[in-house]
């Protein structure tokens, strides 16, 4: 040990508490038990007692969850599918699982090529920058205050490739791309890549127009559909690959409602070699075949249930937006019908800002997150004025538009009426406890209101 002070990026108090727990445990077996206990606490609280409105998370079906713990997840299978492509023998069933996954993803996204080996959408974006950009290349991406994501900015995969990043111009009022400005800027910059990655996403983007502008100099268009992947598969959003995007990346664990990980899809055979070379051997070796199996089943669920499930998600977010507005909580995009995705964005500046509000709501067992919204300044980064909500989980629990008023009411009681979080929490628990079945999958089928 040297005498430099220990530096942690994590909250030092929480790490100190973990050390104290381990010290008190005495035996290694008890240390392991402490981990199991913490998982159990989360399962009971977030899994059974909370209304989870986090936009980037989705509950998985019982089969998907079971597959994540399956034996196949202990097997090693690096490389591409097939006998000569792999280093290891004994992979014939793994080849079956992986090829089923690839073909199911192609069906779900109606595309020619898909890859299943990405540990996250971040890795998918890394594969994009690795394969299609060189250091010094110019790219245009969406800035965070308008909904962009770090993976396409200097702090993320894009930055590690040494590219020069320019902002896609947005209209802060409509939350849409300012096409005239985009055309002007793009002509000047001539970006090699344009990447739209929206973590705050309420409406489709002009993919057709943007991609046709940059084709003039051979620019490639990448739709980072981390959030929208399920909506795209379920025909409830634009279809970026049909509209001119060269590549679609997506998170499997957001609207797609599969195991947390990534997916990448494309149509042009010229992209196959660069993209798959970036995946293996650059970014993935063993790639969690249990997760691949779970992803394959999630894709099949999406093919069977996706259209109706995703349509209900969108209907629910529109209903939630209206119900919040009716209760005095300002919501973005009221004049555009609140949302055409799973998200609703509230401006909670008057209630103490996103950070404060999200934590107050969590005390009432309503889980949301703080979010930057247009108008927030760089110094507002940690304490932005927005609150982001998503309707994936409440929809999969079988709730319909008419139930969104119940949820908005819980939020309004905490925010607008200033009721104590402990009294609201009791009612949230009572509301959630009977709702423990996830629908829109082969285990549990349709929710009752749809099947009857
Ligand atoms: C969530 C998100 C990612 C990262 O996805 P992971 O699956 O969590 O790695 C990338 N891009 C955008 C736009 C996102 O919202």
**Ligand 1-lining residues (CB < 6 angstroms):** 56, 120-122, 125, 149, 151, 197-199, 224, 226-227, 251, 262
| pLDDT surpassing 80 at residue 194 | yes
Could you report the per-residue pLDDT of 140-158, keeping only the tens digit for each? Answer: 999 988 899 999 999 999 9
Ligand 1 atom with the smallest distance to the CA of 56 is 1
| pLDDT surpassing 70 at residue 65 | yes
- pLDDT band of 51, cuts 50, 70, 90: very high
d(CA 291, CA 143): 31
The token duo for 223 is: 């739709």
- pLDDT band of 124, cuts 50, 70, 90: very high
The answer to whether 395 and 318 have CB atoms below 8 angstroms apart is no
3-state secondary structure of 195: strand
Q: How many residues does the chain have?
A: 452
The whole-number pLDDT of residue 2 equals 58
**Mean pLDDT, rounded, of the chain:** 96
String of DSSP letters for 401-431: GGGHHHHHHHHHHHHTS---HHHHHHHHHHH
What Å distances lie between residue 1 and 6, 7, 12, CA to CA? 10, 13, 19
String of DSSP letters for 356-392: HHHHHHHHTTEE-EEE--TT--GGGTTS-SEEEEE-H
Is cis: bond before 281, omega within 30 of 0? Answer: yes
* Alpha helix segments (H runs only) across 190-279: 207-215, 229-233, 272-277
Q: What percent of the chain has pLDDT over 90?
A: 94
The answer to whether 319 and 401 have CB atoms below 8 angstroms apart is yes
Cβ neighbour number for residue 380 with a 10 Å cutoff: 18
- pLDDT band of 175, cuts 50, 70, 90: confident
Whole-structure pTM over 0.85, yes or no? yes
Closest CA to 97 of 126, 71, 59: 71
Could you report the per-residue pLDDT of 265-292, keeping only the tens digit for each? Answer: 999 999 999 999 999 999 999 999 999 9
Residue ID of nearest Cα to ligand 1 atom 13: 197
Q: Which domains are present in the chain?
A: 65-299 (3.40.640.10), 306-451 (3.90.1150.10)
Could you report the per-residue pLDDT of 321-378, keeping only the tens digit for each? Answer: 999 999 999 999 999 999 999 999 999 999 999 999 999 999 999 999 999 998 888 7
CA 128–ligand 1 middle distance (angstroms)? 13
């Amino acid at each position: 040990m040297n005498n430099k002070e220990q530096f942690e990026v994590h909250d030092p108090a929480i790490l100190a508490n973990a050390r104290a727990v381990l010290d008190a445990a005495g035996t290694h077996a008890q240390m392991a038990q402490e981990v199991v206990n913490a998982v159990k606490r989360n399962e009971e609280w977030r899994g059974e007692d909370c209304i989870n409105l986090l936009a980037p998370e989705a509950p998985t079906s019982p089969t998907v969850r079971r597959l994540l713990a399956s034996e196949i997840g202990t097997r090693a299978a690096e490389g591409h599918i097939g006998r000569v492509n792999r280093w290891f023998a004994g992979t014939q069933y793994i080849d079956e699982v992986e090829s089923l996954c690839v073909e199911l993803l192609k069906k779900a996204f109606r595309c020619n090529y898909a890859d299943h080996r990405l540990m996250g959408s971040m890795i998918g974006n890394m594969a994009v920058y690795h394969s299609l950009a060189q250091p010094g290349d110019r790219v245009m991406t969406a800035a965070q205050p308008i909904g962009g994501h770090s993976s396409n900015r200097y702090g993320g995969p894009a930055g590690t490739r040494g590219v020069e990043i320019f902002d896609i111009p947005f209209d802060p009022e409509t939350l849409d791309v300012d096409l005239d400005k985009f055309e002007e800027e793009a002509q000047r910059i001539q970006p090699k890549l344009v990447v739209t990655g929206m973590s705050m996403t309420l409406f489709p983007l002009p993919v057709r127009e943007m991609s046709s502008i940059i084709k003039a100099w051979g620019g490639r268009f990448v739709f980072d559909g981390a959030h929208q992947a399920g909506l795209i598969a379920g025909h409830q959003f634009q279809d970026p690959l049909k509209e001119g995007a060269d590549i679609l990346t997506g998170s499997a664990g957001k609207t797609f409602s599969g195991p947390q990980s990534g997916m990448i899809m494309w149509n042009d055979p010229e992209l196959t070699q660069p993209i798959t070379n970036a995946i293996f051997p650059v970014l993935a070796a063993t790639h969690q075949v249990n997760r691949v199996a779970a992803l394959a089943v999630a894709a099949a669920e999406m093919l069977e249930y996706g259209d109706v499930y995703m349509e209900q998600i969108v209907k629910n977010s529109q209903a939630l937006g209206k119900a919040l507005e009716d209760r005095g909580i300002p919501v973005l995009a009221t004049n555009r019908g609140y949302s055409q995705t799973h998200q609703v964005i509230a401006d909670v500046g008057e209630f103490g800002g996103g950070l404060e509000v999200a934590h107050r709501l969590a005390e009432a067992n309503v889980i949301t997150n703080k979010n930057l919204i247009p108008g927030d300044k760089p110094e507002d980064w940690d304490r932005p004025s927005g609150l982001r909500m998503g309707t994936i989980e409440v929809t999969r629990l079988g709730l319909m538009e008419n139930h969104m008023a119940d949820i908005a009411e819980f939020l309004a009681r905490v925010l607008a009426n200033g009721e104590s979080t402990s009294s609201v929490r009791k009612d949230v628990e009572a509301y959630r406890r009977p709702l423990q079945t996830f629908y829109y999958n082969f285990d549990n089928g349709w929710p009752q209101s749809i099947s009857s």
